Structure 1
């Protein structure tokens, strides 16, 4: 019996040492909210001695902003036996408030109900958190956080500016409020994909929305997961950028290209585009008609499949010349060509560099006209003149020609 008592005394002293030397504060609060016990750390954190607080109600020290929230959590813990886990601000003896994390459980000892809690000073943590909240306010991108169900929990000013809604209109509301049906479904799919895989997709044009003022906005951004200190997924955060002007400009460019392509398709001149390796990327109908190949036979293929070896070397020389000098080959009778189908062509045309929207060289474009008939006619005329000259040279009579002034 004596040994048991001594063991209990030693155990008590051991627990007392632990309680007195840990950094966190241990508190016992009765069912009516009164302090029953406070460990010595209360002085380090709040400036009070334990005896100054015992018998007083905890509610008297809670910042009014957190009072109803704490009462609700406290009552729920007593009634349902749920753990009491809250963050709030408690009064310091000097009059300022200290941010604390409170975690506790209900203990029922001989019908004496109380909650034993551990209080941690999280003032520095809150300062860091506040700074991290200020960062999104300062960046020139929309920033938001949302719960796992997609309800907004934080939005910065720039997000509100882009979206066209106030912070009050957004907080607590679901993202479906601001996005159209198609974009909402796309976002739902993204949220689920990220939640399941934990992998963040790259920047993407993921949404189109109508603002509260009826303005159509296109957004580009990223979405990622938010985790708590235990590594549990608790929501999402994202950055968004307004890319409306870019999307509209791209659409106008597409429309312009469509009209341009239509014009090229219908022009009575052969038109083609090729990359730097000489592979066809675009050919119009007249080019196909001239060369004698279909679009299917040409697109993605090299010009060498069309022309014989000698003609291919000539085209290669011209491509290199244009690429090095940046000077187009003007309209000229630049090639007598034989197609791989044995057809001999005389072509007149132009070769020049093709540039992208940022001014980078991306390939070549060319215009060609089939002048075979003209060249053959010229050749026949030349041959006819030769025969005529020979005939005149061989005749046995004198022959002369005069101009209108009578000059030989």
Structure 2
């Protein structure tokens, strides 16, 4: 049963061709005759049917393409409500397509972007134009924000009215964020360039024209930015330095290059020393070099001064009669530095002593002196002072040398001893001269002693303070000599003890007189001292010790033999008077003071003098 406007597919067979399929459109029209006949028409619809089928297939293909594409394809009505949403919306905003249908676009766009979005659509409606690359931010279903690039065009009906929009949104979140990161990075680099405290200059590799400078370069060189941009990098170099500079430029280095030390010229003509680090860059389409200059003028001058100082010190140390050193504080005195004087002093090359390469300095010190050197040095280091010490060393060729060393400890900021620095010099000749001088002095003193002993018939003996102490033994009385008021008490005390021991009255008076002379001299001319009274086998022994400047050796004969002679000018009766009274007098004197011992027997003794200790020439000439 065929209804009107049904389609029939039939196979038509033609004698001249192969069988073909046909699509016929059936049209049935009732006739007006009495029999009720109808008119049936069959129209060939094959071609149009094929077109419609192709269109359906195309639409299906297009829909599949739209649904498979990564971009979000959509349609909205004139109120901005979604009427179609492709599946891609779920990947972009997290919503299923059906969740967007009927919702306004503004529900997804963040408030800050809605006004610009609205203006773009209103403009497109008025002009029936397209929306191109409109960046807007949309809320993802999870609350995050996505950047979308919107492209769309109005849907216009047959009457020219805009009935909606059809468009595509592309997720550009990653691209925008990347661009923002690049922008921030460029901004940071710009800030680093412009605000860097070091002068920075960008110049073209081929023309050397300056392309950019930072604020530090403007401040340091004195040129304005506009002036810099009319210059080439060559203008900063003195004329005589240009050949070297052009040779460097010709190498066209790409990476980081430390170009070394250069001279630059400021606007005021001042020449400065600079250290330059450069790097190849692309700057606004130019192959360029970014050069950072570091003004080292002050540093270079300081280095030059240091070099000159080191040269002077080296010359000075080379000409010093000894060895300058730095060593560790160990028993080997491990040397970390020694001057060239090392060889003349020790016979070893400096390299032999450095870090004990061949021999340690501690091994050069004479074995008998090593412990003394160590202890004396440690004692002075502990007190934080400079030490001075004399000792012996054994040179490379086995000779013995006397050396004098002065040094001090060098402390770290934490106040820990780091090392010792000092100077050692050969004093062998001085030592020999001193020994010879002492020998002569001892001979001279012995000559004076024996001469005076002979001249006083054995009553005055020049000796040491230690001998006087030994002669006295334990003291039976002791006094401090501070003022002349003390002397009366001392004299009366001596008189009382002498009388108690049975000394003759006349001798007591003489003894007290001698004691008075000795103590008066100590108080008035030596600033005081001390006095002691000792009991000896058959008499008394009175000792006076002061801290005065002593009696010079050359004046001893006058002191002992000339009545009233005094180195101070006010000694009164002097030693001559004491000698005439006492049985025997012992005298020790030197820069550290004078000690005088007065021996008084309880009863007179027969004086016997022996020439046993006198020089042979004197003994032989005696009748």
TM-score (norm 2): 0.39
Q: Which residue of 2 aligns with 1:215?
A: 270
Q: CA deviation at 1:362?
A: 6.4
Q: Is the counterpart of residue 273 in structure 1 residue 325 in structure 2?
A: yes
1:80-121 deviation digits (Å, cap 9, x = unpaired)? xxxxxxxxxx9xxxxxxxxxxxxxxxxxxxxxxxxxxx9987
* Between 380-389 and 366-375, the greater mean CA deviation after superposition: 380-389
Please state whether the residue corresponding to 1:140 is helix, strand or coil: coil
Deviates more, 1:317-326 or 1:343-352: 317-326
Match of 1:307 in 2: 365
- Residue 256 of structure 2 is aligned to residue 194 of structure 1: yes
Aligned: 1:350 with 2:406: yes
Match of 1:403 in 2: 557
Change (3 A) 1:403 1:189: farther
Q: 1:226 to 1:43 in 2, by over 3 A?
A: farther
For residue 293 of structure 1, what is the aligned residue in structure 2?
Answer: 348
Contact 2:323/2:425 (8 A) holds in 1: no
Note closer, same or farther for the CA distance 1:127–1:289 as it changes in structure 2 (3 Å cut).
closer
Structure 2, unaligned runs of 5 or more: 1-53, 75-88, 93-108, 135-170, 457-555, 563-575, 577-623
**Cα distance in 2 for residues equivalent to 1:42 and 1:170:** 47
Check conservation: 1:308, 1:339, Cα contact below 8 A. Answer: no
CA RMSD of aligned residues (A): 5.7
Cα 1:212–1:369 change in 2 (3 A) is closer
Q: Deviations over 1:150-197 (max 9, x none)?
A: 8765431012323454434555977565454557777998954538xx
2:192 is the counterpart of 1:140: no
Q: CA deviation at 1:254?
A: 1.9
Deviation at 1:248, TM superposition (A): 1.3
- Asked whether the equivalents of residues 279 and 300 of structure 1 are also in contact (C-alpha less than 8 Å), the reply is yes
Gap change, CA 1:133 and 1:194, over 3 Å in 2: closer
* Structure 2 residue 120 is matched with structure 1 residue 48: yes
Q: CA deviation at 1:252?
A: 1.4
The answer as to whether partners of 1:209 and 1:217 remain within 8 angstroms in 2 is yes
CA contact (8 A) 2:402 2:431 kept: yes
Please point out which of 215, 222, 242 is paired with 2:295.
242
Work out whether residues 273 and 282 of structure 1, in 8 Å CA contact, stay in contact via their aligned partners in 2.
Answer: yes
Distance 1:189 1:308 in 2: 64
Which structure is richer in relative contact order (CA contacts within 8 A, separation 6 or more)? 1
Q: Which residue of 2 aligns with 1:155?
A: 213
> Contact 1:305 / 1:340 at 8 angstroms: preserved in 2?
no
Q: Distance in 1 between matches of 2:299 and 2:416?
A: 19
Distance 2:259 2:378 in 1: 39
Name the count of aligned residue pairs: 319
Question: What residue is the counterpart of 1:8 in the other structure?
Answer: 62
Aligned-partner Cα distance in 1 for 2:416–2:302: 19
Q: Which residue of 2 aligns with 1:257?
A: 310
Distance 1:54 1:236 in 2: 51
Measured after TM superposition, the shift of residue 392 of structure 1 is 11
Could you tell me whether the CA contact under 8 Å between 2:391 and 2:404 is conserved in 1? yes
1:221-275 CA distance string (max 9 Å, x none): 76668799xxxxx9776655433222212211221232232233224x3141214
Q: Which runs of 5+ in 1 are unaligned?
A: 24-39, 59-89, 91-117, 196-203, 229-233
2:344 & 2:227 partners in 1: Cα distance? 62
Q: TM-score, normalised by structure 1?
A: 0.55
Once residues 275 and 205 of structure 1 are traced to their aligned partners in structure 2, the CA distance between those partners, rounded to angstroms, is 39
